[in-house]
Amino acid sequence: MSQGRDLTRRQVISSLGAGAAVVGAGAALAGCSKSKDAKTDEPKDKGEANKDVSPAPTAGSGKSYEWKMVTTWPKDFPGVGTGANALAAAIGTLSGGRIKVKVYGAGELVPALGVFDAVSGGKAEMGHGAAYYWKGKHEATQFFAAVPFGLTAHEMNAWLMYGGGQALWDELYAPFGLKPFSGGNTTVQMGGWFNKEIKSLDDYKGLKMRIPGLGGEVVRRLGGTPVNVPGGEIFQALKTGAIDATEWVGPYNDLAFGLHKAAKYYYWPGWHEPGTTLELMVNKKAYDALPEDLKAVVKYAAAAATLDMMAEFSARNAAALRQLIDEHKVELRQYNDDLLREVGRVAKEVVAEVAQKDPLSKKVYESFDKFRQQNIQWGHISEEGYLRARALTFA
């Protein structure tokens, strides 16, 4: 965890009670979750997610705050949008109603890609999105969302919490008047939707693909054209031919958008986003004005939201993939090893070049890469080794 002004876990438990620790926050998130339809996994009664469920402030509890959270996601969209709703509700519950957060979907208060400026400028106190959308602000933002062939979801959490990543993220966002937190993780994503098979690097030439961040720069280097289309516009762009291919998240979210109705082939693995961190950004003046116990509420509610979203995507992606294959007859394709080796080679070049653009990008990259290198061997004998053993048993 970051040092300095952040409280230790023991101090947090002391000031808030045991329920304010991550486990307690996770329970609050789970309690704020909406019921799901058994077949589609889409939330029922979508309006319920954004109702104020915060209890009234208790007598003598001090000043209360009414905050806005703007998001890059379509309103109440499964997983990412509902995750933002649950995070906001958990902050209200854990604060005893002293912080009430109203959530706005993309386009309701600001455009999907206007979240960073809205929170930085004080139009909203909080924002929920993904840091690679802000590469125009600083190249290093991309390292805090997803790096091609980079860290998995578990490794990203480890780097942020125990590998120095959070301190670097704070340093990066400070000039913009922002305090960042991990506020979700979609886990490993899918490789994308295509209307032609992708067998070699030549198949990327001339391809217009919706793909953000560093993955988009890799596609550009391969001869394609990356397009940064907000989530709510992807289906129409793919259907009309404005783009030739797209990646979004994974089976759960891709099914909700109906992407299987606009493309034939569904590729894996998602080399471009191995464990995508979503962020909760808070206007730093607003955050600094909070008393210490409420700062801790925001911090630990965000941490619990990350764990909750990882669990939800792991559960719902598995079910949605079966639905895509069995009911919608989607053709699943695996990138071949030769292609992945070549894409990986190009990705290394792209990421290394980004790291050389300024001293802070270099500093972030060196920390990120050192952590990745030291985790490769452990990952090989732990998660990878176990999954191989399980596959031998349940082949």
Domains (ranges, CATH) in the chain? 23-188+274-318 (3.40.190.170), 192-271+319-359 (3.40.190.10)
pLDDT at 92: 98
Backbone dihedral angles phi then psi of residue 269, each to the nearest 5 degrees: -85, 170
Report pLDDT digits (tens) over 239-277.
999 999 999 999 999 999 999 999 999 999 999 999 999
Helix (H) or strand (E) holding 268: strand 265-268
Q: Please give the single-letter amino acid code of residue 47.
A: G
Strand order in the sheet with 65-71: 99-104, 65-71, 126-129, 277-283, 178-185
**Integer Cα distance of 183 and 124 in angstroms:** 17
Report which of 219, 208, 72, 223 is spatially closest to residue 134, judged by C-alpha positions.
Answer: 72
Report pLDDT digits (tens) over 307-351.
999 999 999 999 999 999 999 999 999 999 999 999 999 999 999
In sequence order, what are the residues at sequence separation of 6 or more whose Cβ sits closer than 8 angstroms to the Cβ of residue 119? 70, 125, 126, 127, 178, 281, 282, 283
In sequence order, what are the residues at sequence separation of 6 or more whose Cβ sits closer than 8 angstroms to the Cβ of residue 316? 41, 78, 79, 251, 252
Q: Low-confidence residues of the chain, pLDDT below 50?
A: 1-23, 33-60
Per the rule left: phi > 0, alpha: psi between -120 and 50, beta: everything else, 147 is: beta
Q: How many CB atoms lie within 10 A of CB 233?
A: 15
pLDDT at 13: 33
Whose tokens are 């289906």? That residue is 235
Is the separation of the CB atoms in 168 and 203 below 8 Å? no
Q: How many CB atoms lie within 10 A of CB 210?
A: 25
Which pTM does this prediction carry? 0.85
Work out the burial of residue 297: count CB atoms within 10 Å of its CB; fewer than 13 is exposed, 13-18 middle, 19 or more buried.
Answer: buried
pLDDT at 53: 44
Helix (H) or strand (E) holding 283: strand 277-283
* HSE-up (13 A, CA, CB side) for residue 393: 6
